């Protein structure tokens, strides 16, 4: 259902109740309402506070290592033989992914609100590692919920979190992946709401999370926009980012919303193929519903039960998506496609071999689609791809696919 | 007067409190539900809360989550739950039935269709855990009212006074006070803290208040019945059902035995 609206209206979302058109909102049980209202007030106040901003910027510069480079991938460009491909190198951030931009911001909120304990949910473990990292630095107690299946396939990150002093709680319920970790984190939060800050790892969940995560991640798009203008003398023609819950994508997209000529393309996990039903592509193949505190596109059956998902990448293996993406889809401002497991793995290998950059499997989905797009575009056109994370955490998965034990 | 209001009226005249058991519809199999509902009424239940199973019951503990999983294994749909109520109504036209669950299965059906079909089946109200008044305002609210259905809202220990007023205004039938910070089946409750909070709630409403979460036995049921108009029990009953998955014929008798025990304690 297309929503007709102008670009500046789109950029101003959400409204004061956290709605992006029909999406978003605050669909939680009563116990959490007060905490969310308090978080919203704290956030709105601090986000406008120059001291808070200065501390956030300082941490991003000296702890995360920002700005991250915008790298003109000439060899990949040559291989595709079309548009110029630039990579926004979030993989070079401290802890190896974009996730840390958000955890720095939320940990500061935890600090300013005096909560001694943080919890997080994690899929690939990148958000868990980023949360454990900021918790270690600020001396906060940290527990991370992770689906049992992900604990297996992201063993390296589990151990990193433990080294950082966090406790990883393996979630055995439901499908034992990210959505179940999120259920369990919500349950913890309901129980310990007085002393606990819930660091949500993606631009989803109840208001104000989708908004604040977007704002913390928008540094990606602001930098990329300035860097592209500086390096190429103009704005890109297209942005490409992978979409799990949607935080790296919205971080890249948001500062470009009013640049109507810049295409935005979100890449979901096609798993074994959207037609197989074994995927994690709610925007491509799902429909609107309510889960985890917000209304958004979901993978659900015709009775409203949430479906299990499949993706080779743990970080994209989620049946929902941040509500702003649902809105961008319906307004037509952004488009969403799916890339299958094997296409993503091919892109992983290609980028590694031609550029010496080993991307996370999540980010490989974006690379794969950008390569397809580049081939269809002219040489004087520009695609900026969000390289959301590095592939170190995925070596075991890749080796396993190759039949090698490392 | 609808069934819920009539029920509380009658109890008030008798100087008694409502005993409100919860079970998940279709747990452990579709056939178990209606006989258990009748048996609970016979054992002294005043209102039945019937859970709509959902794959991701975020506000519930493991007990009810597993109940949802058992029910969903049989493919229980919201429409099947409504059929169970219809069947229950063949023999019982008096006991109020309130559906309790999460929004997504309702959203898929459509608010209007849900409210119409629920009313037609003999449902009296609904408590949608993840639908606070702010989000219910408008379409859901109107659909329920148009079909004469009550919307039961939650109040929690964390609900501030200004919000209590707002929720009390939005709700009808009764209010459900969540006695503890936590999920269903968690820690036991502090009756004095509940009583203090209910004093605040009563400033804003004449609706009856049921208290749930953390009521585990005759003693806690009795204690709560001294401060609230209704006592809501779920996890103890669902745990009993879980223990009888291999002997499903026993479920109505054994679940209602617990209900009877609570009833006796409350009326003592
Ligand atoms: C490297 C990387 N990219 C992308 C994602 C997907 O999350 P989002 O869609 O919120 O960016 C993850 C999640 O774990 C990740 O680790």
Name the nearest CA neighbour of A298 among A27, A15, A6, A13.
A27
Closest C-alpha among B166, B235, B239 to residue B205 = B166
Structure tokens at B21: 């058991």
Q: Which two tokens stand for residue A245?
A: 């819950």
Q: Taking 80 as the threshold, does the pLDDT of residue B185 lie above it? A: no
Is B181 in contact with A26 (Cβ distance < 8 A)?
no
Sign of the Cα torsion B74, B77, B79, B81 reads: positive
Least confident of A154-158, B36-40, B187-191: B187-191
Query: Exposed, middle or buried by CB within 10 Å (0-12, 13-18, 19+), for A222?
Result: middle
> What average pLDDT does this structure show over B223-229?
97
Cα separation, B74 vs A120, in Å, equals: 33
Is the distance from the beta carbon of residue A357 to the nearest atom of ligand 1 less than 6 Å? no
Query: Do the beta carbons of residue B23 and residue B95 sit within 8 Å?
Result: no
What is the CB-side half-sphere exposure of residue B149 using CA atoms within 13 A? 31
Best probe residue, ligand 1, of A202, A210, A314 (max atoms within 8 Å of C-beta) = A202
According to CATH, the topology of domain A65-96+218-401 is Rossmann fold (3.40.50)
Contact A265/A282 with Cβ under 8 angstroms? no
pLDDT tens digits for A287-313? 999 999 999 999 999 999 999 999 999
How many angstroms separate the Cα of B131 from the Cα of each of A29, A128, A290, B16, B154? 7, 29, 10, 30, 10
Which residues, in sequence order, are CB contacts of A293 under 8 Å at separation 6+?
A25, A26, A27, A28, A186, A204, A205, A206, A207, A209, B130
* The two three-digit tokens of residue A367, written as one number: 């690379």
**pLDDT above 70: residue B111:** yes
Provide the 10 A C-beta neighbour count for residue A194.
11
Q: Residue B189's pLDDT is what? A: 83
Residue B160, φ and ψ in degrees, nearest 5:
-75, 160
CATH class of A18-59+99-213: alpha beta
CA-based nearest residue to A256, from A363, A378, A76, A382: A382
Q: Could you tell which of A315, A359, A389 is best to mutate to test the pocket of ligand 1, judged by most ligand atoms within 8 Å of the CB?
A: A315
CA–CA distance, A385 with B19 (Å, rounded to integer): 60
Quick one: B40 exposed, middle or buried, by C-beta within 10 A (0-12, 13-18, 19+)?
buried
Per-residue confidence (pLDDT) for residue A3, from 0 to 100: 64
A198 SS3 class: strand
How many contacts, defined by CB atoms under 8 Å, are there between A and B? 120
Residue of B65, B127, B132 to mutate, testing the A interface (most A Cβ within 10 Å of its Cβ): B132
User: How far, in Å, CA of A371 to CA of A224, rounded?
Assistant: 19
Q: What is the per-residue pLDDT for A4?
A: 66
Average pLDDT, stretch B205-215? 95
Mean confidence (pLDDT) of chain A = 96
Note the helical H segments in A49-201: 50-59, 74-80, 99-113, 126-138, 148-153, 155-163, 178-191
State the first-to-last Cα distance of chain A, in angstroms, to the nearest integer: 48
> Sheet holding B125-128: strands in order across?
B150-151, B125-128, B97-101, B48-51, B18-24, B230-233, B209-212, B175-178, B153-155
Q: Tell the residue number behind the tokens 């002093």, with chain if given.
A: A165
Q: Would A18-59+99-213 and A65-96+218-401 be classified into the same CATH topology? A: yes
**Any residues with CB less than 8 A from the CB of A404 and at least 6 apart, and which?**
none
All structural domains of chain A with their residue ranges: 18-59+99-213, 65-96+218-401
Q: Which of A213, A238, A220, A243 is nearest to A321 (CA)?
A: A243
C-alpha to C-alpha distance for B9 and B7, rounded to whole angstroms: 5
Phi, psi for residue B46 in degrees, rounded to 5: -100, -35
Is A99 designated active site?
yes
pLDDT tens sequence across A231-262: 999 999 999 999 999 999 999 999 999 999 99
DSSP-derived pairing of the beta strands B48-51 and A117-122: unpaired
Checking if the pLDDT of A1 tops 80, the result is no
Identify whether A78 is a catalytic site residue: no
Buried-exposed string B2-33: b where 16+ CB fall within 10 A, e elsewhere? ebbbebbeebeeeebbbbbbbbbbbbbebebb
In this structure, the dihedral spanned by the alpha carbons of residues A267, A271, A274 and A279, taken in order and rounded to 10 degrees, is -90
Q: Over pLDDT 70: what percentage of chain A?
A: 99
In DSSP terms, B230 is beta-bridged to: B18, B210
The correct answer on CATH 1.10.760.10 for the domain covering B3-267 is no
Sequence ranges of the domains in chain B:
3-267
User: How far is the C-alpha of A347 from the C-alpha of A34, rounded, in Å?
Assistant: 45
CA atoms lying within 13 Å on the CB side of residue A257: 23
CB–CB of A68/A90 below 8 Å?
yes
**pLDDT score of A213:** 98
- The pLDDT score that the predictor gives to residue A406 is 81
The ipTM is: 0.96
Instruction: For residue A169, give the H/E element and its range.
Output: strand A167-171
Q: Given this model, what pLDDT does residue B186 score?
A: 73
How crowded is residue A184: how many other Cβ atoms within 10 Å of its Cβ?
25
Of A290, A300, A302, the CB nearest to B130: A290
pLDDT of res. A5: 78
What are A170's strand-pairing partners?
A146
**Lowest-pLDDT choice from A182-186, A280-284, A316-320, B180-184:** B180-184
Sign of CA dihedral A267, A271, A273, A274: negative
Range 47-106 of B in CB contact (< 8 A) with A: 54-59, 61-62, 65, 69, 72, 75, 77-79, 102-106
Q: Cα B198 from chain centroid?
A: 18
DSSP state letters, A274-331 = GGGT-SB-HHHH-EEEEETEEEEEE-B-TTSPBPP---SSGGG--S---HHHHHHHHH
Residue B134 phi/psi, 5-degree rounding, is: -55, -40
Q: What is the mean pLDDT of residues B55-61?
A: 94
Nearest-by-CA chain A residue for B66: A173
Q: Name the band, by pLDDT with cuts 50, 70 and 90, for residue A195.
A: very high
d(C-alpha A115, C-alpha A292), whole Å? 22
Q: How far apart are CA A160 and CA A158, in angstroms?
A: 5
Atom of ligand 1 nearest to the CA of A127: 14
CB-CB contact of A294 with A36 (8 Å): no
Look up B90 and say whether it is catalytic.
no
Report the DSSP beta bridge partners of residue A300: A306
């Amino acid at each position: 259902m297309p929503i007709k609206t102008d670009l500046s209206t789109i950029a101003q979302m959400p409204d004061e109740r956290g709605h992006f058109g029909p999406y978003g909102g605050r669909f939680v049980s009563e116990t959490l309402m007060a905490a969310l209202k308090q978080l919203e007030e704290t956030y709105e106040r601090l986000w406008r506070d120059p001291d808070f901003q200065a501390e956030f910027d300082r941490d991003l510069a000296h702890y995360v290592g920002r700005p991250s480079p915008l790298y003109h991938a000439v060899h990949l460009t040559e291989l595709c033989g079309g548009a110029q491909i630039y990579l926004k190198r979030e993989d070079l951030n401290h802890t190896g992914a974009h996730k840390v931009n958000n955890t720095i911001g939320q940990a500061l909120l935890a600090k300013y609100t005096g909560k001694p304990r943080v919890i997080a949910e994690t899929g690939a473990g990148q958000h868990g590692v980023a949360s454990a990292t900021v918790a270690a630095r600020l001396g906060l107690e940290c527990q991370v919920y992770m689906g049992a299946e992900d604990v297996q396939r992201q063993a390296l990150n589990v151990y990193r979190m433990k080294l950082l002093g966090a406790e990883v709680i393996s979630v055995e319920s439901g499908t034992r992946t990210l959505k179940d970790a999120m259920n369990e984190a919500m349950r913890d939060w309901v129980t310990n709401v007085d002393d606990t800050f819930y660091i949500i790892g993606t631009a989803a969940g109840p208001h104000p999370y989708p908004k604040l995560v977007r704002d913390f991640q928008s540094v990606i798009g602001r930098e990329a926009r300035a860097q592209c203008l500086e390096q190429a003398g103009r704005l890109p023609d297209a942005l490409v980012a992978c979409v799990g819950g949607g935080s790296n994508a919205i971080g890249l997209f948001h500062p470009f919303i009013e640049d109507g000529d810049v295409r935005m393309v979100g890449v979901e996990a096609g798993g074994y193929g959207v037609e197989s039903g074994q995927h994690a592509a709610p925007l491509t193949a799902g429909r609107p519903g309510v889960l985890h505190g917000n209304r958004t596109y979901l993978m659900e059956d015709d009775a409203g039960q949430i479906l299990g998902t499949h993706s080779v990448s743990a970080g994209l293996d989620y049946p929902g998506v941040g509500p702003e993406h649902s809105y961008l889809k319906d307004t037509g401002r952004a488009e969403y496609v799916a890339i299958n497991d094997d296409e993503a793995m091919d892109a992983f290998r290609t980028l590694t071999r031609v550029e010496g950059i080993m991307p996370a499997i999540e980010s490989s989905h974006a690379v794969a689609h950008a390569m397809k797009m580049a081939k269809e575009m002219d040489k004087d056109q520009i695609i900026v791809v969000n390289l959301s994370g590095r592939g170190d955490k995925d070596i075991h998965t890749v080796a396993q696919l190759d039949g090698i034990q490392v | 007067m609808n069934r819920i209001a009539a029920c509380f009226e009658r109890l008030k005249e008798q100087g008694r409190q409502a005993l409100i058991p919860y079970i998940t519809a279709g747990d452990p199999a579709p056939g178990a539900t209606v006989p258990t509902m009748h048996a609970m009424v016979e054992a002294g239940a005043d209102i039945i809360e019937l859970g709509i199973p959902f794959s991701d019951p975020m506000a519930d503990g493991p007990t009810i989550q597993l109940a949802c999983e058992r029910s969903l294994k049989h493919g229980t749909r919201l429409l099947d739950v409504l059929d169970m109520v219809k069947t229950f109504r063949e023999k019982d036209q008096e006991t109020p039935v309130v559906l309790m669950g999460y929004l997504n299965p309702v959203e898929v059906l459509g608010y209007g269709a849900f409210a119409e079909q629920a009313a037609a089946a003999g449902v009296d109200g609904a408590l949608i855990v993840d639908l606070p008044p702010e989000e219910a305002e408008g379409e859901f609210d109107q659909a329920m009212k148009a079909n004469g259905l009550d919307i039961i809202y939650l109040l929690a220990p964390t609900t501030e006074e200004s919000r209590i007023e707002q929720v009390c205004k939005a709700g009808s039938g009764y209010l459900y006070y969540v006695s503890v910070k936590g999920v269903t089946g968690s820690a036991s409750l502090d009756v004095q803290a509940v009583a203090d909070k209910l004093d605040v709630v009563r400033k804003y409403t004449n609706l009856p208040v049921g208290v749930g979460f953390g009521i585990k036995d005759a003693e806690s049921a009795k204690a709560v019945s001294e401060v609230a108009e209704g006592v809501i029990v779920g996890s103890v009953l669902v745990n009993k059902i879980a223990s009888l998955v291999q002997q499903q014929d026993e479920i109505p008798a054994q679940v209602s035995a617990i209900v009877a025990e609570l009833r006796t304690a409350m009326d003592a």
